[in-house]
Amino acid sequence: MSKFILFLRHAIALVREDKLFSTIYVAGTAVAIASAMVVAIFVNILLADIPPESNRSRTLYLTSYYRKASMGNGEWLYTQFSTEAIDSCFRRMECVEAVAGFMSYLHYLDYKVSDMDGQHELPVSFTPANTDFFRLYDFTFLSGRPFSEQEFQNGEPVCVITERLAKSLGLGLTPNPSPAGEGQNQQPTPLSHGRGAGGEALLLADKPFRIVGVVKTVSYMLMNAAADVYIPYKVEGIGLHPERQTNIPYSGNLDVHILLRKGFTQQDFMRELEPWRQRYEAVASSQTGEETGWRVWANSHFFRYISFFYSRGQEESTTLKVMNLMPIALLMLLFLLLPAVNLSGLVSNRMEARRAEMGIRKVFGAKRRWLLQEVINENLVLTLLGGAVGWGLSWLFISLMRHTREFQTLFVSEDSKSFELSLDPAMFFTPTLFLIAFLCCAVLNLMAALIPAWRSLRKPIVESLNQKR
Amino acid sequence: MTLKNFWAHRGQNAFIFVEILLTATLSFFALDAIVVETYNIYIARASGEFEKEHLLVGEVKNTIALSGVMSLDSIFAPIYALRDQVQSLPEVQSVSLVNESFSGRFQESSWDSVRTETDTQCLIAYEHTFVSGERFFETLGLTPAPGSPSAEELSEVRGEDNVVITRSLAQALFGTEKVIGRRLVWGGKYHREEDKKHLTVCGVVEDVKAIESQRYFYSIFFPNGLWDNSPFMLIRLKPDADAGAFLARYDMPDLRPQEGAYQLTTLETYNDYKKNHSKLGEAHMVSTMFGLFLGILLLNVMLGTLGSFWLQIRKRTEDIGIMRSFGAKRRDIFRMIWQEAALLTFVACVIGQAIWLQFAMNDLLFMGVHGYDALEHETDWVAQFWPHFLTVCGIQLLLMLLVVTLGITIPTVIAMYRKPVEALRHE
């Protein structure tokens, strides 16, 4: 321990001794780490379990295609799912814990909400969903509860809104003291209103909806869960058409996201689905009187967003995941490589200045390996300092960039009229990101210090000692 | 003297040399894309483009949910009524409904190959549609070329095989603008063979830059029916009308044109509409992403030069002191250091570019975000290999010199202003 403290004191003394060198080195490292960490944070936002999308690692995203013998060219046609597909098939599967059915495309339409007086009219994006939507996505309820199965089945005009919308409508709802992340499990609690009874409902597309819950606002960087209003998709009278008027029973207008039980994988799901699929094809063929085919593709969250070397239908595996992460890792390495060359130049200059010191220490018996290790460790202190600044810079960069339309387009449609790209600490400060930042620092440090230090220490003692004569 | 200094400090300069060389190689493609897209967006212009100050773009949407099964007539009747209502406003000269915004949603425009029936060489042209009978050409302000039917007649063109083309396309395909009745083959080269269509040219109009990053103004206008129940409305105001006052009136909800469930939900000038949407265009996104990448690399070079030269100049303080005491002026000191840095940048950059040349010769020169691979007959600098490569090389060299100059400025200025006595006493 005392050895470590001694080393640390020595390293800090060196940092303070040459402030110019330290400042330039820290700045160079910060830019390198910031560039690499922007990439890492972006990937983290896309892939990590961030509330309310806390179950991304167990989520499957389904797409479906069908074809009928009468469709001459033999093409498979894209279709979404119907309520019947959810209830008669997916919900009955053993590996499935919840089946969220919802209509996502409505985000892009011009729907507006207002309070019951028709005042405070605001454009909103809303998601008509079933009750499992609140099991898959772990919303933090500040007040109230999700809509119940009964309210959903009866198509009651009820809604869950975000805190942001509640505030915009001037509802002034009192936060629920229950702990975060227990959205779907907590006991229903009554809403309390800052503006009296008028605040418990709102008008959506001119139809009154009773507010049953208020959730913490979800950043639109979490694309699947984000909306301003959540309503049962069985509500009638506002132009929702969750079912399709076709004779293909499983074909509808619903997106389906599956929450797998713990321990099950995408392959398990596909294996279990196969007999259901075959049975459905047989039933559909007999019902329509012609041969009907049905295909379902299930993508895990990872392959939905990172698919450099992945084509739909390919079996998902860890090796494939690693392969798909390679381009990102290479980009990060590139962002570290160029600054490493630059930092190597600085270290080389510094080692020139310390040649006499190294010569004396070698005369007194210090081995080259020890000295090399010491130089690298001393350098690591500076690199870690730069790393911390770089991490801060990457956060600052993303915070500023999120206000630009170019950045927003990566998460929301250009047609979206209402969205908030707020940042959550879970997007930046996770153990994985910490580990990545540390690894980046270590790699950068090695790349920058190893060669110049080695070159300098290889010089003969006499030459080193003669340097200042 | 510069060469001597350059050689004497080769050990200290080696790292910054390698960094500039790597940056020159790795950033070439990014810079190439930015240069080409900047040229496409800001410099390549269609001659005689239509007047835009009095042109407005609006979106028609249904603001009340539709219920029950509706016939097409019952859906589109109120849209046509809304159009007539706008047409009857005193400031309005003409109105046209379009299924998708012409020249608005840049990234959504599609392109394909086009050639004459007797030729095998293809060009790439953009595909646009207009609603027949909707006064499209006169509303947009596209002037017919000499010998072509009037704008009113062109707006009435119907039929799947009849099209209107731009003047540049007519020239490139037939070598003349008088091409009424001539035949074209559309599609097939890049998509499926069965998508190939034989078309008849019914009219030629002035060039138009429909896509933000369009460099060659090859466009084909296909007549179509109204099928979109959320169409766009192009509104051309009379020359003496004030677009600002018209838009201000539109901003009052009670005065906003409405017919049944349909309303003109947004309305803005053509220029504003184009500006707002161009940010999301593919070319703009490409430039932004590559710009960020290039910016990071150049920032690294600047920091590298700053650090490297600062430490070097500190070591050479004594030399500088001697030079100053022998009468060297401050600007001589600056020139000496700058020339050394410039030589280093020049050599590293040229070697980096020579490395990239190997890739560039294998089709890695950036031609644009849209399919420009039929360039054999084009004569502009982008389409020609050497002019293109050397232009980007020159810009890269200037950029690097600028960055390196910025990097050496602080340490050099400090060295210049140090007193000779102080400098000589420096260890």
Q: Is residue B301 part of a domain?
A: yes
pLDDT, mean of residues A226-236: 92
Between CA B256 and CA B242 the distance in angstroms is: 17
Closest to B65 (Cβ–Cβ): which among A27, A237, A335? A237
The minimum CA-CA distance between A11 and chain B, rounded to whole Å, is 20
* B-chain residue closest to A452, CA distance: B15
Q: Is residue B326 part of a domain?
A: yes
Q: Is residue B74 part of a domain?
A: yes
- Which residue's structure tokens are 């040219």? B201
pLDDT, mean of residues A235-245: 80
**Are both B297 and B316 inside the same structural domain?**
yes
The minimum CA-CA distance between A335 and chain B, rounded to whole Å, is 8
Does A192 have pLDDT greater than 70? no
The minimum CA-CA distance between A338 and chain B, rounded to whole Å, is 6
- HEC profile of A51-67: CCECCHHHEEEEEEEEE
Q: Is residue B98 part of a domain?
A: yes
Between CA B184 and CA A333 the distance in angstroms is: 50
Q: What is the pLDDT of residues A205-214, one digit of tens each?
A: 778 999 999 9
- Which residue's structure tokens are 């060489």? B121
User: How crowded is the C-beta side of B18, counted as CA atoms within 13 Å?
Assistant: 14
Task: Return the SS3 of B183.
Answer: strand
Q: Using CB atoms within 10 Å of the CB of residue A91, give its burial: 0 to 12 exposed, 13 to 18 middle, 19+ buried.
A: middle
Q: Is residue B318 part of a domain?
A: yes
* A-chain residue closest to B301, CA distance: A342
Q: Is residue B50 part of a domain?
A: no
Structural domain ending residue among the three candidates B247, B278, B309: B278
What is this model's ipTM? Answer: 0.74
Structural domain ending residue among the three candidates B278, B302, B325: B278
pLDDT, mean of residues A255-267: 94
Residues of chain A above pLDDT 90, percent: 37
Q: Nearest 10 degrees: CA dihedral of A441, A442, A448, A454?
A: 160
Q: What is the pLDDT of residues B390-420, one digit of tens each?
A: 999 999 999 999 999 998 888 888 877 877 7
Q: Are B19 and A345 a contacting pair at CB < 8 A?
A: yes
Q: Are A350 and B67 a contacting pair at CB < 8 A?
A: no
Closest to B307 (Cβ–Cβ): which among A35, A206, A345? A345
The minimum CA-CA distance between A238 and chain B, rounded to whole Å, is 5
B284 contact A CB<8A:
yes
Residues of chain A above pLDDT 70, percent: 89
Contact A370, A435 (CB under 8 A): no
> Which residues does chain B have within 8 Å of residue A346's beta carbon, measured at their own beta carbons?
307-308, 311
- Which of residues 14 through 73 in chain B touch A, CB cutoff 8 A? 14-16, 18-19, 22-23, 26, 61, 63-67
Highest averaged pLDDT of the listed ranges A28-37, A286-295, B211-220: A28-37
Between CA B229 and CA A105 the distance in angstroms is: 16
Q: Which helix (H) or strand (E) holds A357?
A: helix A355-363
B311 contact A CB<8A:
yes
**pLDDT at position B108:** 53
Does A254 have pLDDT greater than 80? yes
**Are both B210 and B351 inside the same structural domain?**
no
* B-chain residue closest to A241, CA distance: B67
Number of CB pairs, chain A paired with chain B, less than 8 A apart: 92
**Are both B222 and B331 inside the same structural domain?**
no
pLDDT, mean of residues B258-271: 82
A75 contact B CB<8A:
no
**pLDDT at position A109:** 57
Residue of higher predicted confidence among A136 and B379:
A136
**Are both B231 and B346 inside the same structural domain?**
no
Confidence of residue B101 (pLDDT cuts 50, 70, 90): low
pLDDT, mean of residues B55-66: 75
B110 contact A CB<8A:
no
Q: What is the pLDDT of residues B305-331, one digit of tens each?
A: 888 888 878 777 778 888 888 888 888
pLDDT, mean of residues B324-349: 89
**pLDDT at position A183:** 42
Q: What is the pLDDT of residues B156-181, one digit of tens each?
A: 999 889 999 999 999 999 988 889 99
Q: Is residue B220 part of a domain?
A: yes
Residue A456: CB partners within 8 Å, gap ≥ 6?
A: A348, A351, A352, A354, A355, A358
| Torsional sign, CA A192, A194, A195, A200 | negative
B323 contact A CB<8A:
no
**Are both B206 and B293 inside the same structural domain?**
no
> Of B26, B20, B19, B21, nearest to B293 (Cα)?
B26
**Are both B28 and B121 inside the same structural domain?**
no
**Are both B17 and B120 inside the same structural domain?**
no
Q: Are B296 and A31 a contacting pair at CB < 8 A?
A: yes
Read off the tokens for B156: 């009435």
**Are both B66 and B206 inside the same structural domain?**
yes
Q: Are A345 and B299 a contacting pair at CB < 8 A?
A: no
Does A245 have pLDDT greater than 70? no
Contact A332, A36 (CB under 8 A): yes
Between CA A430 and CA A49 the distance in angstroms is: 10
**pLDDT at position A216:** 92
Does A189 have pLDDT greater than 50? no
**Are both B240 and B296 inside the same structural domain?**
no
User: How crowded is the C-beta side of A289, counted as CA atoms within 13 Å?
Assistant: 0
Does A184 have pLDDT greater than 50? no
Q: Are B280 and A206 a contacting pair at CB < 8 A?
A: no
Mean pLDDT of chain A: 84
B414 contact A CB<8A:
no
**Are both B89 and B64 inside the same structural domain?**
yes
B303 contact A CB<8A:
yes
A360 contact B CB<8A:
no
Q: What is the pLDDT of residues A17-48, one digit of tens each?
A: 888 888 888 998 999 999 999 999 999 999 99
Q: Are A342 and B301 a contacting pair at CB < 8 A?
A: yes
B299 contact A CB<8A:
yes
Q: Is residue B324 part of a domain?
A: yes
Mean pLDDT of chain B: 84
> Which residues does chain B have within 8 Å of residue A237's beta carbon, measured at their own beta carbons?
65, 67
Per-residue burial over B93-120, b if 16 or more Cβ lie within 10 Å, else e, is bbbbbbbebbbbbbbebebbbbbbeeee
Q: What is the pLDDT of residues A375-420, one digit of tens each?
A: 888 888 889 999 999 999 999 999 998 888 778 877 776 666 667 7
**Cα–Cα distance list, A97 to A85, A225, B102 (Å):** 15, 18, 47
pLDDT, mean of residues B182-205: 84
> Which residues does chain A have within 8 Å of residue B12's beta carbon, measured at their own beta carbons?
345, 348-349, 352
Structural domain including B407 reads: 2-44+281-425
**Are both B32 and B73 inside the same structural domain?**
no
Read off the tokens for A48: 């990590």
CA B114 to chain centre: 22
Does A181 have pLDDT greater than 80? no
**pLDDT at position A179:** 40
Confidence of residue A446 (pLDDT cuts 50, 70, 90): confident
Q: What is the pLDDT of residues A312-344, one digit of tens each?
A: 778 888 899 999 999 999 999 989 888 888 888
Find out whether the peptide bond into A52 is cis, omega within 30 degrees of 0: yes
Does A229 have pLDDT greater than 80? yes
* B-chain residue closest to A331, CA distance: B293
Does A267 have pLDDT greater than 50? yes
Does A99 have pLDDT greater than 50? yes
Residue A213: CB partners within 8 Å, gap ≥ 6?
A: A141, A143, A144, A145, A146, A147, A160, A161, A191
**Are both B344 and B293 inside the same structural domain?**
yes
A72-81 contact pairs (CB < 8 A, 24+):
A76/A293, A76/A295, A79/A244, A79/A248, A79/A251, A79/A252, A80/A251, A80/A252, A80/A253, A80/A254, A80/A255, A80/A256, A81/A250, A81/A251, A81/A252, A81/A254, A81/A255, A81/A256
Our count of domains for chain B comes to: 2
The minimum CA-CA distance between B142 and chain A, rounded to whole Å, is 28
Does B151 have pLDDT greater than 80? yes
Q: Are B297 and A24 a contacting pair at CB < 8 A?
A: no
**pLDDT at position A230:** 94
**pLDDT at position A416:** 64
Query: What DSSP string runs through B43-68?
Result: I---TTPPP-TTEEEEEEEE-S---S
Structural domain ending residue among the three candidates B252, B278, B304: B278
**pLDDT at position A417:** 62
